[in-house]
Structure 1
Amino acid sequence: MTEPTGPRLAPWVDPVNAVLGVADPLIRASSRFDALRRGARWSTGLRDDGDEEFLDGMRTLNEHIQAADLTPMGRLAMRAEVSRRLANRMRVRHTLRTRPGIAAAPVSRPIFVTGLPRTGTSLLHGLLGHRTGARAPMFWELLHPAARGAEAAGRRAAARMLATLYYAMMPAMRTIHPLAATEPEECVFLLPHNGVHLTRVPMPGYRAWYAEHDFRPDYRFLRDQLRVLQRGASPQWVLKTPCHLGNLDALLDVFPDAVIVTTRRDPAVALASWCSFCEATLRMHNRTVDLHGIGALWLEFWSGAAARATRVRERSPDRFVDVAYEDLVADAAGSTAAIWERLGDGLSAGERAALDAHAARDRRRNPGSHRYTLDRYGLDASTVRAAFDRTAVSVPG
Structure 2
Amino acid sequence: MKRATFDRETLMQKCTEETGLDDFGDPWFHRPYDALVDAIREEARLNRAGDFVAQMQFEKVLKDRLLAQDWFRRHPEILERALPRPVIVVGPMRSGTTRMHRLLAADHRFQNLRSFETISPVPPRDFEPGDEHDQRLVDARKIQRMARLANPRTLSIHPTGPDQPEEELGLLVNSFWGMKHEAQWAIPSYGRWCEQEDSRPAYRQLARLLKLVSWSQQKSSLKPWILKTPQYMLDLDAVIDTFPDARFIFTHRDPKAVVGSAASLAWNQTIIYSDHADAHAVGREWLHKTEQQIARMRRARDRIDSKRRIDVHFEEMDRDWPGVMTRIYQFLGMEIEPALPGMEDFMARSRALKRKPHRYSLAEFGLDEGDVLERLSDYVETYGVRVEQRERRTA
Shift of 1:42: 3.3
| Number of the residue aligned with 2:311 | 322
Shift of 1:215: 0.6
Give the conservation status (yes or no) of the 8 Å contact 1:265–1:394.
no
Moved more, 282-291 or 332-341: 332-341
Give the conservation status (yes or no) of the 8 Å contact 2:250–2:311.
yes
**What is the TM-score normalised by the length of structure 1?**
0.87
Among candidates 40, 45, 52, match of residue 69 of structure 1: 45
Moved more, 214-223 or 171-180: 171-180
Give the conservation status (yes or no) of the 8 Å contact 2:121–2:170.
no
| Number of the residue aligned with 1:290 | 278
Q: Which runs of 5+ in 2 are unaligned?
A: 387-395
Give the conservation status (yes or no) of the 8 Å contact 1:175–1:367.
no
Shift of 1:301: 1.5
> 1:277, 1:342 → 2: CA distance?
32
* In the alignment, structure 1 residue 387 sits paired with structure 2 residue 363: no
Counterpart of 1:134 in 2: which secondary structure? coil
> 2:19, 2:371 → 1: CA distance?
49
Give the conservation status (yes or no) of the 8 Å contact 2:252–2:385.
no
In the TM superposition, what whole-angstrom CA distance separates every residue of 1:238-279 from its partner, at most 9, and x where no partner exists?
111111101100110111111221111100112111111111
* In the alignment, structure 1 residue 310 sits paired with structure 2 residue 298: yes
> 1:381, 1:254 → 2: CA distance?
37
| Number of the residue aligned with 2:229 | 241
Counterpart of 1:311 in 2: which secondary structure? helix
* In the alignment, structure 1 residue 179 sits paired with structure 2 residue 160: yes
* In the alignment, structure 1 residue 167 sits paired with structure 2 residue 148: yes
Among candidates 193, 196, 200, match of residue 212 of structure 1: 196
Shift of 1:366: 7.5
* In the alignment, structure 1 residue 378 sits paired with structure 2 residue 366: yes
1:244-283 to 2 correspondences below 5 Å: 244-283=232-271
* In the alignment, structure 1 residue 132 sits paired with structure 2 residue 116: no
Shift of 1:386: 2.4
* In the alignment, structure 1 residue 48 sits paired with structure 2 residue 36: no
In the TM superposition, what whole-angstrom CA distance separates every residue of 1:19-61 from its partner, at most 9, and x where no partner exists?
xxxx2xx2324x4323321232234331136632123322332
In the TM superposition, what whole-angstrom CA distance separates every residue of 1:338-396 from its partner, at most 9, and x where no partner exists?
2122111222x333233223322228658413221112212112221222233388544
> 1:320, 1:228 → 2: CA distance?
27
Moved more, 357-366 or 367-376: 357-366
Counterpart of 1:315 in 2: which secondary structure? coil
CA RMSD, 1 decimal? 2.2
> 2:52, 2:226 → 1: CA distance?
32
| Number of the residue aligned with 1:14 | none
Q: Which runs of 5+ in 1 are unaligned?
A: 1-22
Among candidates 59, 84, 87, match of residue 108 of structure 1: 84
Moved more, 355-364 or 318-327: 355-364
* In the alignment, structure 1 residue 123 sits paired with structure 2 residue 107: no
- Identity rate, percent: 28
Letter in 2 for 1:336: M
